[in-house]
Amino acid sequence: MVTSSTDDATVAGVRSGDEAVFAQLLNDWSRSMLLLARTFVSTEASAEEVVQDTWLAVIRGIDRFEGRSSLRTWVYRILVHTAKKRGVRESRTVPWSSLPAEEDRGPTVDPALFRDADDQYPGGWRSFPREWQTSEGSVLAGEVRTHLRAAIDALPDRQRVVITLRDVLGHGSDEVCQMLEISAANQRVLLHRARAAVRGRLAPYLEQDGVGAP
Amino acid sequence: MSGLSCQEFVELVTDYFEDALDEDTRARFEEHRELCPGCETYLDQIRDTVARLGELPVESLTPEMRATLLSAFRDVRR
């Protein structure tokens, strides 16, 4: 990954004590850092401490940043490292090394929704997924957000981290692989399973004739 | 070239979005998609799910923590 010129200016700003530059970084990145930290530790308060410790490490360690990754990747790696250490203390660890795990195998859509092997169309939908409503009132929109959060929280740890980074925070796949030190293929498996599970949780609330159900 | 089943199709959706399918599988995926309204719906719903995830509001730092960090920054970098 190349270091952008924006990165160079930011790094120079932080090194020389330019408070406006640092304040801007705090504004731009802290949200996603809190969310990411929260996936490794058990409370909001712990996540806040992880983010605070990460920024302190950045303030003290910025002179050691060599520009071999983007500044953002570097900072997020410090965050993940800090969060993992803390997660271990809270006995909440996310094992990244042992892919694929049990939860990462098998079909992502209920096999009962598809026709049997001896059917005329084996593996075809028994009935098509019902259409979703394209827009909903503000009350239902709030309800859908609640279900979205519940769906994310219910995911296995690694899937939750990956879908949060990719889809909630909008990081690219290269960035996420670097932050978590996983392969592109493993990242795709986790993302795929997470998205399918979240879609499945959302479906009953968004199907056109099933508003508010079940 | 044999066609994909719907059950196979749904497991390839992410690889399709991530542009990770080989040429042959991609062609079969797109062929199936054109012929199957159910799988087109499924694909749209995954896309919709991703879009909704991107709109979730995200908490930021408390003003206290922000002040603490700015003060630490002044202490160390000046």
CB B66 within 8 A of CB B74: no
CB B49 within 8 A of CB B16: no
Fold of the domain spanning A5-89: Rna Polymerase Sigma Factor; Chain: A (1.10.1740)
* Residue of chain A nearest B37, judged by CA positions: A128
Distance from CA of A60 to the nearest CA of B (A): 7
* Residue of chain A nearest B18, judged by CA positions: A188
H/E stretch holding A79: helix A71-89
Query: What's this model's pTM, rounded to 2 decimal places?
Result: 0.81
Q: Dihedral of CA A184/A47/A43/A145: which sign?
A: negative
Under DSSP, the state recorded for A151 is H
CB A58 within 8 A of CB A78: yes
Q: Which residue ranges make up each domain of chain A?
A: 5-89, 102-206
CB A36 within 8 A of CB A51: no
CB A156 within 8 A of CB B68: no
Mean pLDDT of the region B19-29? 97
Which residue segments constitute the domains of chain B, with CATH numbers given?
6-77 (1.10.10)
A196, B8: Cβ pair inside 8 Å?
A: no
What's the pLDDT band for A156 if we cut at 50, 70, 90? Answer: confident
Q: Is the model's pLDDT at A27 over the cut of 70?
A: yes
B7, A202: Cβ pair inside 8 Å?
A: no
Domain A102-206 class in CATH: mainly alpha
Higher-confidence position of A42 and A48: A48
Could you identify the residue written with the tokens 């797109």? Answer: B30
Name the A residues in 60-99 with CB < 8 Å from any B CB.
Answer: 60
pLDDT of A62: 95
Could you identify the residue written with the tokens 């930021």? Answer: B60
